[in-house]
Amino acid sequence: MKDLKDKVVVITGGATGIGFALAKAFGAEGAKIVIGEPREERLQEAVAALEELGIEAAYTICDVTDPAQVEALADFAWDRFGQVDVLINNAGVGSKRARAVDLPLEDLHKVFDVNFFGVWHGATIFAKRMEAQGTPAAIYNVGSENSFFTAAPGVMAAYVATKHAVLGFTEAFREETPDFIQVGTIFPGFVKSELTAGAAGELAMDTDVFASTVLKQFKAGEHFIVSHAYNIERIRPRFQQLEEAFAAYAPRYDGDEEYDIRNLMARLSRGSRPDR
């Protein structure tokens, strides 16, 4: 989606941090912005700031953990602007810094409710309406460098698990969605936001710099939107270890596609049965 002029972009958690920076970046391209999160005061401040930049913007209160409120966000956007062209599922929370064995289950559920189920609610609810709308559209879910590796080892298993889940869901969802809806995942690294507030946060990537990086890749139609260059050095060892494990214990052989699930499902869908 190269031309964003007059496109309608909905961003959850769009009042602060990465979401607000994306609102500014997309708005600067001529898009109309709708933001939603639970804190009305922050929403009002964000819309006022966007309007000062000459960006047409509106807000509605939305808690992404509640499907009814996500439906209401969609109602608001379509009623206000008559269409939605882009959804960015950005709302997210951090988890308590605690070992998995010490984390209360209620805290685990809270972080999954926002970071994973909030994404699920947004993607599925908006996708149905976008399919009915029938025009080119896009849904992007915000993951993390923690979708690939554990960036903060030892104390954030819940957060890491949610971001791995976002990547897995988005990849499956992308294959289920019509081609005219562009689906992808945004992978922030260490970016200035409410989640990175504090002394260490001053060392994080500037939020507007990150948003400009996202925008460029979005307009190019990429479904993996990346940023922090050094992350590849953290990602590569996992795949190297996997390759080594396969080479040692499950090496390739002639006819090894016999157990490949995609091949098997394709054969079954054609009505043919495996020979074995």
pLDDT of 153 above 90: no
pLDDT of the residue at 197:
67
For 136-163, give one letter per residue: b (16+ CB within 10 A) or e.
Answer: ebbbbbbbbbbbbbbbeeebbbbbbbbb
What whole-number percentage of the chain has pLDDT above 90? 86
pLDDT of the residue at 163:
97
pLDDT of the residue at 270:
83
Task: Give CA–CA dist 276/41, Å, rounded.
Answer: 64
At 55, the pLDDT band (50, 70, 90 cuts) reads very high
**How does DSSP classify residue 190?**
S
Task: Give CA–CA dist 18/193, Å, rounded.
Answer: 7
**How does DSSP classify residue 115?**
I
pLDDT of the residue at 271:
75
Joined together, the tokens standing for residue 37 give: 């999160």
At 160, the pLDDT band (50, 70, 90 cuts) reads very high
pLDDT of the residue at 243:
97
pLDDT of 33 above 70: yes
pLDDT of 60 above 60: yes
At 276, the pLDDT band (50, 70, 90 cuts) reads very low
User: 34: Cβ–Cβ under 8 A, 6 or more apart, which residues?
Assistant: 8, 9, 10, 11, 14, 57, 58, 59, 60, 73, 76, 77, 80, 81, 84
pLDDT by residue (tens digit) across 135-145?
Answer: 999 999 999 99
pLDDT by residue (tens digit) across 77-102?
Answer: 999 999 999 999 999 998 888 899 99
pLDDT of 203 above 70: yes
pLDDT of the residue at 183:
98
pLDDT of 274 above 60: no
Do the beta carbons of residue 2 and residue 219 sit within 8 Å? Answer: yes
Do the beta carbons of residue 101 and residue 38 sit within 8 Å? Answer: no
pLDDT of the residue at 155:
80
At 269, the pLDDT band (50, 70, 90 cuts) reads confident
Do the beta carbons of residue 141 and residue 162 sit within 8 Å? Answer: no
Q: Which residues are tagged catalytic?
A: 159
Do the beta carbons of residue 31 and residue 44 sit within 8 Å? Answer: no
pLDDT of the residue at 154:
80
Q: How confident is the model over 1-6, as a mean pLDDT? A: 92
Q: What is the pTM of this model?
A: 0.93
pLDDT by residue (tens digit) across 162-202?
Answer: 999 999 999 999 999 999 999 999 999 999 888 776 656 78
Instruction: Report which of residues 194 and 241 the model is more confident about.
Output: 241
Q: How confident is the model over 42-46, as a mean pLDDT? A: 97
What whole-number percentage of the chain has pLDDT above 70? 97
